[in-house]
Amino acid sequence: MFLTAIIIYLAALVIVGAWRSRQVRTSDDFLVAGRTLPARVLVFTLLATWIGSGSLFAGAGLGYRVGFPALWQSAGAWVGIALVYFIAPRVRRLAQYTVPDILELRYGPAARILGTIATVLAYTTIAAYQFRGGGRLLELVAGIDPRTGALLTAAFCVVYTALAGMLSIAYLDVGNGSIMVVGVGLAVAFLISDAGGLGTAVASLQPEQVSLFGELSPRTALALFFPTLFLLLGEANMYQKFFSAKSESAARRAVIGWIVGTIIVETLIDSVGVFGSVAMPGLDAQGSESIVIRVALQVLPAGIGVLLVCGAAAVVVSTANSFLLTPATNLMRDVYQRFVNPSANDQQVLLYTRLNVVALGVIGYVAGNFFPTILAMALWAYTMYGAGVTPALLAALVWPRATRSGGVWSILVGMTTTLAWEIIGLWRSVDGVAAYPFGLETVYPALALSILTLVAVSLATRADGVGCLQPS
C-alpha cells in the first residue's frame, strides 16, 4: 500500500512536470522560471527545497536521540531567513542567475571560479543525501536494498530535474510543500492524542529532552546552529529563486511565509522524532534517522501513514531537484558560458545544463557512500558552503570596504580549512567518529578563519572603489 502510494504520487509529479516542461522555451525559463514566480509559489518552493532529508532523517533522528534541543540545528535556518528578509529585494534587483555571478561582480573572475567549486562540492553532497534518504525510505517501505533504493531515487531525481527546470520545479513544489505540511502535522497530532494529550505526551519525556541544551553541550549546540545559519544566508537555491521572482515585493513577501512555514514544519518533524522515541524506543543512531518513516509504517493509522510517507517522498524529490539544478546551472553559467563559450545559444545552454544534471547525479550517488550518517553529510556540506561562500557573499552586499583580494582569499581559506579539518578528523577517527584537532568541530576554525581573512586582507589591501553591489 505504501509503495503503491509513493509510485502514484511520483507518477503524478512526472505527468505534471512533463506538461509544465512544454512551457520551457528559453534558458531563462529553465534556469529562473522566466523571472515570473509570484510570492505564493515562491513560499512553497523555498519551503520544499529547504526541508529535505537533512530535516526528515538527520533532524528527526537527532530529535529522537536528544529531544527538543535538536532544534538548535533548525534555529540556524530560522535566524538566517529572518536576516534574509532585509536583503531579498536587493538580490532580486540584481537580476543575475547564480551566486557566483554576484561574487564576480564584486570580486572578479577568481571568486566566480572558487564559488562555483564550493557550490558544486556542497550541493552535490546535499543532493547525495537526498538519494540516500530515498534509499532508506524504499528499504523500509518495500524491503529494497538501501543502495539500490538510493540508485533508483537518484535516477528518478536526475531524469525529473533534467526534464523540468525551475519553471516546473517551482510550481510542483506547491503540491510537495502542501502534502509535507499536512503529513507531518497529522502525524504529530496523532502521536500527542495517542499519548493522552499534550501534557501527558510531554510528561512522558525525559527532563533533558525538553531542556535548552539537554545532552548537548552549548558548544555542540552552536556547532549545529552555525553551519545551518551560514548555509542559509548564502544558500544558492534561495538566491536563484529570488532571481526567479516576478518582483522585489514578491521576493520579500515570500520570505515572511517561508520563515513561518519553516519554523512550523521543522518543529513538527523534530517532534515526530521526539515523541517517536517514546513510541519506538531502543533505536541506534543510524536507525533513529529513519524514525519518521518507522512511525508512518508502524505507529500511525494507515491513512495518516500514507500521507506522511508521500510527504517524505515529496521532501526527498523536491530538495534533490533543486540541489541538482543549482550546481548544474553554476557549471553552465559560471564555467561554460563565462570562460568556454560566451556566445552559447539557448538550445546549447538547455542541453548542457541537462547533461550537467546527469553528471552531478552520478557523482552524488557515488559520493553518498562515503559518509557514516546523513547528519555527517549535512554538516560537512553546510560548513563547506557556509564558511567558503557566505562571508564573502554577504560582504559583497553589505560591506563597502571588502576588497577583491579579501573576498577571494576568504572563499579559498574557508574551503581549504573545511577540507583539511575534516580529513584530519577522519584520519584520527575512533570507531567511525571523527576526532577533530583540539576537539573543535569543523565549523569553528573554518568560519572563524574565513571571516578573519576577509576582514584582515580587505583592511590590509587598497580599497578598489567597487563598494556594495547596487542594482543597475
CA distance 276 to 300: 11
Best CA proximity match to 132, nearest among 381, 434, 472: 381
Of 280, 105, 74, nearest to 191 (Cα)? 280
Flag whether 277 is in a domain: yes
Structural domain containing residue 325:
2-382
Is 414 inside a domain boundary?
no
Cell 547528519, residue?
Answer: 375
Whether residue 416 lies inside any domain: the answer is no
pLDDT of res. 472: 47
Question: How many other C-beta atoms lie within 10 A of the C-beta of residue 25?
Answer: 12
Which residues, given as ranges, of the chain have pLDDT below 50? Answer: 472
- Residue 430 inside a domain? The answer is no
Backbone dihedral region of 233: left (phi > 0), alpha (psi from -120 to 50 degrees) or beta?
alpha
Cα–Cα distances in angstroms (integers) from residue 310 to residues 17, 180, 247, 371, 454, in the given order: 17, 8, 33, 26, 44
- Give the span between the Cα atoms of 153 and 450, in whole angstroms: 35
Give dist(CA 17, CA 160) in Å, integer.
8
Cα separation, 80 vs 28, in Å, equals 28
Domain-located, residue 255: yes
Asked whether residue 388 is domain-assigned, the answer is no
pTM tops 0.85 = no
For residue 210, give the DSSP letter: G
Q: What is the reported pLDDT for 102?
A: 86
**Backbone dihedral region for residue 439 (phi beyond 0: left; psi -120 to 50: alpha; all else: beta):** left
Residue 390 lies in a domain: no
Helix (H, G, I), strand (E, B) or coil at 205: coil
How many domains does the structure of the chain reveal?
1
Give the pLDDT confidence score for residue 14 in this predicted structure: 77
Q: In terms of DSSP H, where are the helices of 143-235?
A: 146-194, 198-203, 218-234
Identify the three-state secondary structure at position 212: coil
Instruction: Write out pLDDT tens, residues 119-152.
Output: 999 999 989 988 998 999 999 999 999 999 999 9
Is residue 105 included in any domain, yes or no? yes
Give the count of beta carbons closer than 10 Å to the beta carbon of residue 373: 18
Here the CATH number for the domain that contains residue 286 is 1.20.1730.10
Residue by residue, DSSP assigns 360-404 as HHHHHHHHGGG-S-HHHHHHHHHHHHHHHTHHHHHHHHH-TT--H
DSSP-derived letter for residue 323 is: H
